[in-house]
Structure 1
Amino acid sequence: MVGLNLPSTPVAPAWKATTVYNAGNTVTYQGKSWQALWWTQNQKPGDVNGPWMEMATAPDGTALWTASRIFTAGDVAIYQGKKYVAQWWTRNQKPVDSAYGPWKLS
């Protein structure tokens, strides 16, 4: 159709302090995409232990590691240009190739 411009990717609404968000709701805040982990209201996205996780991805769709994002066993994340695989549930633990940490170099 001529003149019809639809965005290729839906844009999440902007975060508002007065809005109630439930687990799974997404918002944009300071130019980033965030997903609620549980019921929240008046809690700004950005606290690494808070109710929001940043949902950054590479152009190929692979997750970019962010401190607030939860990863579970088998999840792949890119950190400093390298791909890592989570060995178990992890949040706010930087990926490094360590015998004791939750991440293994892919």
Structure 2
Amino acid sequence: MYEYNFARFWNLVKIDFDFEEGDEVHTWRINASNKNSKMELVLYCKRDEMMLFNYEAPNGKKLHNRLWNGGNGWGEIKLYKKDGTLIDHVKMENAGCEYGEYDK
């Protein structure tokens, strides 16, 4: 019902993503919208509860840098109608957290 798949261009999907690597907490922010609704997601993960991987791909290449992974995230999702009317507000805990920069 509320889909933000950028491949479905006819739904006029727009997604803004931001990640902040903090000294104590890492923060993800995702704002997505389509022609009918918008969604705001904020997710936090404690740095000391995450693992920093030095991942090497099966082909022997190191394609990712700063690859963080954890499973104790918390945050919230707010879903709105396009006019700004709040549809739902969901709080989340024990969420999976992952971020990595891809080398081209």
Same fold judged by TM-score > 0.5? no
Bigger helix fraction:
2
TM-score interval, normalised by the smaller of the two chains = under 0.3
- What TM-score do the two structures reach when normalised by structure 1? 0.25
Bigger strand fraction:
2
- What TM-score do the two structures reach when normalised by structure 2? 0.25
